[in-house]
Amino acid sequence: MNFDLAAFRAEFAFFRQQPDWVYLDNAATMHKPAAVVTAELEFYQGYNANVHRGAHQLSQQATQKFEQARDTVASYLNATAREEVIWCSGATAALNQLAFGLVGTVLQAGDRVLISALEHHANIVPWQFHCQQHGILLDIIPLDANHQLDQAEYQRLLALKPKVVSLAQVSNVLGHIQPVAVMVQQAKAMGALTIIDGAQGIVLQQPDVQQLDCDFYVFSGHKIYGPTGIGVLYGKSDKLTLLRPLLYGGEMIQQVSFAGTTLNQLPYRLEAGTPNIAGAVGLAAALRWLAQWDQVAIAAHKQQLLQQLYQGLQQFPAIELLSQSQPNAGIVAFNVQGEHHSDVAALLDQQQIAVRAGTHCAMPLFAAIGKAGAVRMSLAAYNTPQDIDRTLVAISQVLEVFHG
Amino acid sequence: MSDLSLLITETALGLQQISQQQRPLLLQTSDWQSKYRTLMQLGKAVPAFTAELQRDEILIAGCESKAWLLHEFHGATGRHYWAFDSEARIIKGLVLLTLSQLNGLTKAELAKIDVARLVAVPGVQQNLSPSRQNGLHAVLKKLQQQIA
């Protein structure tokens, strides 16, 4: 195994087609290597059929590939069984299924759910919505002065015995890595069900769900070099059976009569409708492709880029950094003093530097840190030191336009 | 004179100045840095909205940055007037540039103008980020409703 940056980047046709762009919006979505594009193409051109139900060989082949993809994900996560991998459209869908599925079964009126101030809206609003309707209390772990989760407050809120603790592994705005492994253990010790939102964490390092020992782990395929519209809800089998399905129809049903309906076994019980077959096959291809590269070298390369970017931005007195450089998964949020974040982003866009500006689906985080928004630069392993050099030159141009 | 009509009057003067001085200059400028610099200075020609004026009913929905568009129709003269403010300088410049060509016109005069085309500043508009473009789009939609 190795990691040759030029060879790695060459796997992405996008960069050949758009050589003038510096792409630093990886936390929003990542580019796809040839392996992923080819896998989807092969499905559509070679064995396109619906899964689990066709009375023909094509359907059997599609089903086989689709279920092999599930095996690939199960093994990537080190799940104990393939039934623990539920396909869904992404982390947002998974979190919605969890909130809907636990309310009324695990969560009753007067119970508590614990999340944090740095969550993505997808790990806030479903809870808020269902909790309000059912008289369940929602507690929020605040941030400390360094914009990390306040661990003393976490202990205090855990003592209130929440039934569910749901936490992001990495802040999608700041990039800060949270100590979820320890926090999950502490939550379990208090008897809570634990959920890790791995949307930004999945690409940071291969998760070992047995070691993490969390009850649920969710992620989106497109944030780990995979296709959009496919994601995973991992859950321990006994915990997945607690969930009330959010969607009904199709393969999730065993027997229907107007007297009543019996539901299918896991994993199908939670997979209503025709699944995103090409997406599943594409995601499995992404994970297999990624596993071919030296993960330690990739992590080191990303950290080098992060430090280069971070230190480069620190050289400009007008730039106010909101992120800390460590422990950071590869995201830098900042503002230019006295300027609106969308003006900064527009001037970077003019120079073909792709970033995101705004509140990044995390308005409560911005309320907590007292900012109206920020520019966010997020890195992937295909970014190069030259990308960072170009970005820093572009930033100096932006400042010149503002102040020149 | 009320705060509101004072704002409309002062904005009208500013927009006239933009139309006569900055707009021709901006359309001639070739390098993007100077173009943006001029665009971002346009806001200085008109009064900023006070906190009181930044009311929710004139807030433009769908804008990445907060933006307020005030519209006034003079029944006696049949003329349309506007005032605009935004947290972000580029969108403010682009909208003021557009308003400088529309302000004080009658419905019949406005009907002859393709507002969407007017907004396109060579070398700027097409390079704006989609979120920003949506913001501009939202302002345009509102403008078109007001003059319909």
Strand partners, B124: none
Domains of chain A: 5-24+294-403 (3.90.1150.10), 37-291 (3.40.640.10)
Q: Which two tokens stand for residue A244?
A: 């009330």
- Model confidence at B127, pLDDT cuts 50, 70, 90, reads very low
- Model confidence at B131, pLDDT cuts 50, 70, 90, reads low
pLDDT of residue B124: 74
Residue B128 has pLDDT above 60, yes or no: no
Q: Are strands A231-235 and A216-220 parallel, antiparallel or unpaired?
A: antiparallel
- Model confidence at B125, pLDDT cuts 50, 70, 90, reads low
Q: Which residue has the tokens 């999730």?
A: A252
CA distance B76 to chain A (A): 39
At A135, the amino acid letter reads: G
Q: Which of A56, A52, A393, A340 is nearest to B91 (CA)?
A: A340
- Residues of B designated catalytic: 63
Whether A361 has its CB under 8 Å from any CB of chain B: the answer is no
How far is CA A328 from each of CA A204, A301, A309, A322, B70, rounded to the nearest angstrom? 10, 13, 12, 12, 44
pLDDT of residue B129: 47
Q: Which of B80, B84, B79, B94 is nearest to B129 (CA)?
A: B94
pLDDT of residue B44: 94
Separation CA A269–CA A243 (nearest Å): 10
Query: Are B42 and B22 a contacting pair, CB within 8 Å?
Result: yes
pLDDT of residue B116: 77
Q: Across all residues in chain B, what is the average pLDDT?
A: 87
* Contacts of residue B18, Cβ cutoff 8 Å, sequence gap at least 6: B42, B45, B96, B97, B100
Which residue ranges in chain A fall short of pLDDT 70?
1
Query: Are A287 and A76 a contacting pair, CB within 8 Å?
Result: yes
Phi then psi for A371, rounded to 5 degrees?
-125, 155
Query: Are A116 and A141 a contacting pair, CB within 8 Å?
Result: yes
pLDDT above 90 as % of chain B = 55
8 Å CB contact of B132 and A342: yes
Question: Structural domain tally of chain B?
Answer: 1
CATH number, position B73: 3.90.1010.10
Q: What is the per-residue pLDDT across B12-45, written as a single tens digit (0 to 9) for each?
A: 999 999 999 999 999 898 899 999 999 999 999 9
At A81, the amino acid letter reads: A
* Contacts of residue A176, Cβ cutoff 8 Å, sequence gap at least 6: A118, A147, A148, A170, A323, A324, A327, A328, A329
Separation CA B83–CA B79 (nearest Å): 14
pLDDT of residue A259: 86
319-348 in A: which are within 8 Å (CB) of B? 339-340, 342-343, 345-347
pLDDT of residue A348: 95
Domain that holds residue B56: 3-147
pLDDT of residue A53: 79
**Cα A50 off chain centre by:** 27
Q: What is the per-residue pLDDT across A172-230, written as a single tens digit (0 to 9) for each?
A: 999 999 999 999 999 999 999 999 999 999 999 999 999 999 999 999 999 999 999 99
Residue B132 has pLDDT above 70, yes or no: no
Q: What is the per-residue pLDDT across B81-92, written as a single tens digit (0 to 9) for each?
A: 999 999 999 989
8 Å CB contact of B90 and A346: yes
pLDDT of residue B123: 74
Q: Which residue has the tokens 């129709």?
A: B73
**B129-137 average pLDDT score:** 60
Furthest C-alpha separation in chain A:
75
- In terms of Cβ atoms closer than 10 Å to its own Cβ (0-12, 13-18, 19+), residue A150 is middle
Residue B133 has pLDDT above 80, yes or no: no
If one compares A154 and B61, the residue with the highest pLDDT of the two is: A154
67-126 in B: which are within 8 Å (CB) of A? 87-91
Catalytic residue list contains A88: no
CA distance A304 to chain B (A): 29
Query: Are A315 and A64 a contacting pair, CB within 8 Å?
Result: no
Q: Is the dihedral of CA B88, B94, B95, B96 positive or negative?
A: positive
